């Protein structure tokens, strides 16, 4: 050890003693790694081989897809388009008359029948409604007590009922 190093060493110790305990600027370990990671050459070669195979497989798949797409286009171009039927006055979504399906026509018919029934019975319904509203609007008269009946009530039938009592 030189004299300069020996003289600076006690000064560093006194500095650390004087420094506060919560000093976070100093680092206990070095920032640079002291050892270098050693890779296994067999594993590296195997990884390279796998990457090469997967890349080749992707390229083959892409070529097959492009060939399939080109073949599809060629067959579509060869097939002559069918002549369209005359569609004068007819919409492309037309299922039946006026573009309505059978179920929709049945629903419209049911609504029509119910409206026709209401129109036919309108007088009867109006009379029932007015009668119900008149009962609500007018106060109820007080019920009159019934006169006592002069006839005696008939006696209760005391004959036995059922099969067991008859035997």
Domain boundaries, position 123 = 99-137
| Domains of the chain: total | 2
Distance CA 150, CA 82 (A): 99
Q: Which tens digit of pLDDT belongs to each residue from 27-54?
A: 677 676 677 788 999 999 999 999 999 9
Which residue in this structure is represented by tokens 């305990």? Answer: 21
Whether 69 maps to a domain, the answer reads yes
- For residue 11, is pLDDT > 60? no
pLDDT of residue 93: 54
Distance CA 141, CA 121 (A): 31
Q: Which tens digit of pLDDT belongs to each residue from 52-107?
A: 999 999 999 999 999 999 999 988 888 756 666 665 555 555 556 678 888 999 99
Could you give the count of Cα atoms lying within 13 Å of 66 in the half-sphere of its Cβ?
6
In percent, the amount of the chain with pLDDT more than 70 equals 53
Of all helices (H) and strands (E), which one includes residue 51? helix 41-78
- What Å distances lie between residue 40 and 21, 48, 51, 142, 156, CA to CA? 44, 13, 17, 111, 114
Whether 110 maps to a domain, the answer reads yes
Tell if the pTM clears 0.75, that is, is over it.
Answer: no
Whether 124 maps to a domain, the answer reads yes
Whether 12 maps to a domain, the answer reads no
């Amino acid at each position: 050890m030189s004299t300069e190093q020996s003289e600076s060493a006690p000064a560093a110790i006194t500095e650390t003693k004087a420094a506060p305990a919560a000093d976070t600027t100093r680092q206990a370990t070095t920032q640079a790694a002291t050892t270098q990671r050693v890779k296994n050459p067999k594993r590296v070669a195997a990884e390279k081989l796998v990457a090469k195979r997967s890349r080749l497989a992707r390229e083959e798949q892409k070529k097959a897809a492009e060939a399939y797409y080109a073949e599809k286009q060629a067959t579509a171009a060869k097939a002559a388009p069918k002549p369209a039927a005359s569609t004068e006055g007819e919409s492309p979504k037309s299922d039946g008359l006026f573009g309505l399906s059978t179920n929709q026509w049945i629903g419209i018919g049911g609504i029509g029948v119910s409206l026709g029934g209401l129109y036919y019975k309108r007088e009867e319904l109006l009379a029932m409604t007015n009668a119900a509203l008149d009962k609500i609007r007018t106060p109820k008269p007080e019920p009159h007590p019934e006169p006592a009946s002069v006839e005696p009530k008939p006696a209760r039938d005391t004959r036995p009922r059922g099969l067991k009592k008859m035997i």
